Amino acid sequence: MATFFNQATLSYSGGTVNSNITTGEILEVLSASKTAVGDDYSASSDVTYVINIVNTGSVPYTGLTITDNLGTYTQGTLTLTPLDYVEGSVRYFVNGNLQATGAVTAGPPLVISGINVPAGGVATIAYTARTNAFAPPEGEGTITNTALISGGGITDITVTETINAANEPSLTITKSVSPTTVVENGQITYTFVIQNTGNTPAVTTDNVVITDTFNPVLSDIVVTYNSAPWTEGVNYTYNEQTGLFTTSAGQITVPAATYTQNTQTGEWVVTPGVATVTVTGTI
């Protein structure tokens, strides 16, 4: 509901006099909300937003436009946009029925036009954006996404949604062998590098476990974790008949990543936390 005021001026014989001030109210029949499917984000993750536009009046609204800033924020003198629209992801419904999508400009900002809301009806617009190198990855990071609904003779409506950086480890593993060429009864070393790009460490209760079946089977293996020797039966198990190697749950931890923001570009640079396991044996 919006309140308006109005006053008239009467001029006569070189003089003026003001009328009383009238007051009125405009009942807004169009309202909107915006929600994200999921409360958090991580690196290169997809976030789906849903905008509902509700018309409680008896007159339809046509030709509305949604302008979404894709989370644009300022950092010093830089203007940064942490989300990229996922091409072709817009879905537009009227009273639950899928409609042809109007014109879409990827932006930033993302612009979706041709939205109609029938009398007593609801228009729902869903679309997906993907986080990029400008999305704050740290534990306190947030993306505040704002959309403006305009056109069709309405008073502009602004809807906002905030999501938080996920507080969790994010692990990858790579395996290498050295040397790559070895004679029979020769010795080789497998190196497993676990990297954590998440903003929290992987701790013992995360039960990080490496499982591998060596082919050819290794004998007389020696295992290290971050260069420290490991003990069979405590830190790992190994079957010399099958080649099955398994680290014990709770033995591997991986530090959280560290993050720095490039002051020239605004991009976040990730330095992963690392844990290394080596297995050396005879083939």
Q: Are residues 67 and 111 in the same domain?
A: yes
Q: Is residue 101 part of a domain?
A: yes
Q: Are residues 148 and 215 in the same domain?
A: no
pLDDT digits (tens, 9 = 90+) for 226-278: 999 999 999 999 999 999 999 999 999 999 999 999 999 999 999 999 999 99
Q: Is residue 119 part of a domain?
A: yes
Q: Is residue 31 part of a domain?
A: yes
Q: How far is CA 63 from the centre of its chain?
A: 30
Q: Are residues 150 and 43 in the same domain?
A: yes
Residues in the chain: 283
pLDDT digits (tens, 9 = 90+) for 93-136: 999 999 999 999 999 999 999 999 999 999 999 999 999 999 99
Task: Give how many domains the chain has, as a whole number.
Answer: 2
The confidence band for 19, taking pLDDT boundaries of 50, 70 and 90, is: confident
Q: Are residues 146 and 235 in the same domain?
A: no
Q: How far is CA 119 from the centre of its chain?
A: 35
Q: Are residues 33 and 131 in the same domain?
A: yes
Q: Are residues 161 and 175 in the same domain?
A: no
3-class secondary-structure state, position 205: helix
Q: Is residue 145 part of a domain?
A: yes
pTM of structure: 0.82
Rounded Cα distance, 253 and 276, in Å: 10
Q: Is residue 5 part of a domain?
A: no
Residue written as token pair 């072709």? 88
Rounded Cα distance, 73 and 145, in Å: 9
Q: Are residues 51 and 158 in the same domain?
A: yes
pLDDT computed for residue 3 by the predictor: 57
Among 139, 165, 191, the domain-final residue is 165
Q: Are residues 58 and 145 in the same domain?
A: yes
Angstrom distances, CA of residue 235 to CA of 74, 193, 232, 239, 248: 48, 17, 6, 14, 5
3-class secondary-structure state, position 166: coil
Q: Is residue 11 part of a domain?
A: no
Among 146, 165, 184, the domain-final residue is 165
CATH of the domain at 33: 2.60.40.740
Among 142, 165, 188, the domain-final residue is 165
Q: Are residues 126 and 204 in the same domain?
A: no
Which residues span the domain enclosing 123? 27-165
> b/e per residue, 40-68, with b = 16+ CB within 10 A?
bbbbeeebebbbbbbbeeeeebeebbbbb
3-class secondary-structure state, position 234: coil
Rounded Cα distance, 8 and 16, in Å: 10
Bridge partners (DSSP) listed for residue 128:
48
Q: Are residues 206 and 97 in the same domain?
A: no
Q: Is residue 19 part of a domain?
A: no
Q: Are residues 254 and 196 in the same domain?
A: yes
Q: Are residues 176 and 159 in the same domain?
A: no
pLDDT digits (tens, 9 = 90+) for 224-240: 999 999 999 999 999 99
By the 8 A CB rule, do 132 and 60 touch? Answer: no
